[in-house]
Amino acid sequence: MKQVQGIKGVRDVLPGESEAWRHILQKARDIFHTFGYSEIIIPVIEFTELFTRSIGETTDIVEKEMYTFDDRDGKKITLRPEGTASVVRAYIEHNLRETSPFSKLYYIGPMFRRERPQAGRYRQFYQIGAEVFGIGHSMIDAEVLSMLNLLFDSLNIKGVELQINSIGCPQCRPAFREALKGFFADKISELCENCQRRFESNPLRILDCKATHCHELAEKAPKTLDYLCSECLTHFKGLQDSLKTAGVPYVLNEGLVRGLDYYTRTTFEFVGTSLGAQNAVAAGGRYDNLVEELGGPATPAIGFSIGMERLVSLFDDSSMERPSAGIFIAALGEAAQEKAFSLLTQLHQQGIPAVMDHSGGSLKSQMRKADKLNAEHVLIIGEDELARGVVILRDMKNKTQEELPFSEIAQRLKGVRS
C-alpha cells in the first residue's frame, strides 16, 4: 500500500525530543508565573481581517504566507500566523483590562506560515509568547527582556545575543521613512525585486532584507535612532538604563525593524550565533497603537514570541535526566500475569509510574525491555512467588534484589521512589 507522508515543513516531535519540549515548557511556565503572567489559550483560527489589519497588508506574512480559506458562509478564515493579534482581540473582546489589574498573558501553541521550509523554518511551528498590556513605561520593556534572559539562562542556552532598537512612533517615523526613501531613491534598480516593491509600500523593511546587496546598501542608510522624537529617545534611554540595572547584556542593532507593521518604539531579537540564516530564537517589541487600531481603548503594550523549534535546537538535553519507566513488572505465566495486572492497577492508582509487558514472554526478554525503558526497579513474579504471596524487587541501578510480600509492595515502592 502506498504510504501517506506528512506535509513538507510540518514536523512530528517524537519521543526522545518531546521530553526536551516538556522540560522547556515547564521552565517557561514557572518563570512566567514568577513574573505574574497568566496563561491565555487562544484559537487557532480567526477571521482573516484580524491579521491583515494588525500585521499589515504589505508584510510578507499577509501578502504571501497565510493559510486562508473561505468558510461555508463565505467568510474568510486564516490559520493563525502568530499569536499577538489574537491576544489583542481577546483582550478587547473580553474587556480584560477591567477584570485584572495586570494584563500579563502568555500563550503556547502552533502557528502557520507558508514559508519556504529550511533549517529552523517550518510551515507549522510552535511559539511560546507573552504580552503585557497597559504599561507604557520603559522599565516593563526591560522586565520583559530580563524574563526572557532568565529563561534562557535557566535552560543553560549558550551563544544567544539580545539585540535592541527603537523604530519610533507615528510622530517621528514619517520623517525617518522619508529619509530612507530619499536615500534609496537613486538606488532602486540595485535593490532586489521584493525591496523594489517595498520602496513605496514599506521602505523600513529594506533595512532587514537578507539579500546581500540590499544588506550592503542598508548599512549606509539613515539610522532610526537619529530620527526619534524626544519622547521615543527618552524611552529608549530608559530601557537601556533598566537593562543595566537588571544585568541583562544587549547590543544595539539599528537595522532591527521587524517584519510586522504593529511595532512602535522598542524592537528586539534574541539571536542565536550558531543558528545560520534563521537566527532569531525570540523576537518582539512594543506595539502601543494596536489595541486602539483593533477597536479597543488606547492601551500601550509589549510582547515577544520564542520560536520553540529554534530554542530546542539550542538546548543541550544531555543535562536532563533520562526518562524512566519507573517500575517494570515482569510476570511469568498466565496466573502471574493476572496478579501483575492487579498490582499494576494499584500502583497507577497511587501515582507510581509503572508498566508491564502484557504479552509476557521469557524473563530474559522482559528484563531486556525493562532495561530499554530505563526502569528503576523491576518486580518479578513467577509461579513460585505467586504461590508464596511474594514478589522479587530488583533495583536496576545497584543490581540488588530482595523479596517482598504482596501487602508491602505499594508502601515499599512509594519509599524507594520518593
**Can you tell me which of 113, 235, 339, 377 binds ligand HAM, judged by CB under 6 A?**
113
Task: Output the smallest distance, CB 412 to ligand HAM, in A.
Answer: 47
Rounded-to-10 torsion of CA 318, 323, 324, 325: -160
Cβ nearer to ligand HAM, comparing 109 with 353:
109
Query: Least distance from C-beta 221 to ligand HAM, angstroms?
Result: 21
Among 283, 325, 336, 386, binds ligand HAM (CB under 6 A): 283
Nearer to ligand HAM, 120 or 134 (CB): 120
Beta carbon of residue 28, minimum distance to ligand HAM (angstroms, whole number): 14
Could you say which residues in the range 119-138 bind ligand HAM, by CB under 6 A? 120-122, 125, 127, 129, 131
Task: Say whether residue 280 binds ligand HAM (CB under 6 A).
Answer: yes
Which of 17, 19, 63, 115: binder of ligand HAM (CB under 6 A)?
Answer: 115
Q: Is 304 in the site for ligand HAM (CB under 6 A)?
A: yes
What is the spatial distance between Cα 289 and Cα 261, in angstroms, rounded to a whole number? 11
Location of C-alpha cell 521530553: 19
The reply on whether position 285 binds ligand HAM by CB under 6 A is yes
Q: Which of residues 75-94 bind ligand HAM (CB under 6 A)?
A: 82-84
Q: Using CB positions, name the residue nearest to ligand HAM.
A: 307
Residue 309 makes contact with ligand HAM by CB under 6 A: yes
Residue 65: CB minimum distance to ligand HAM, A: 8
**Per-position b or e across 366-376, b if 16+ CB within 10 A of its CB:** bbebbeebebb
Pick from 78, 103, 149, 305 the residue near ligand HAM by CB under 6 A: 305
Q: Kindly tell me which residue out of 281, 314, 325, 393 binds ligand HAM, with binding defined by CB under 6 A.
A: 281
Work out whether 307 is an interface residue with ligand HAM (CB under 6 A).
yes
Residue number, 56 or 203, with CB nearest to ligand HAM: 56
For ligand HAM, what does the binding mask look like between residues 185 and 224, x meaning CB under 6 A?
----------------------------------------
Nearer to ligand HAM, 191 or 281 (CB): 281
Binding site for ligand HAM (CB under 6 A): 82-84, 113, 115, 120-122, 125, 127, 129, 131, 260, 280-285, 303-305, 307, 309-310
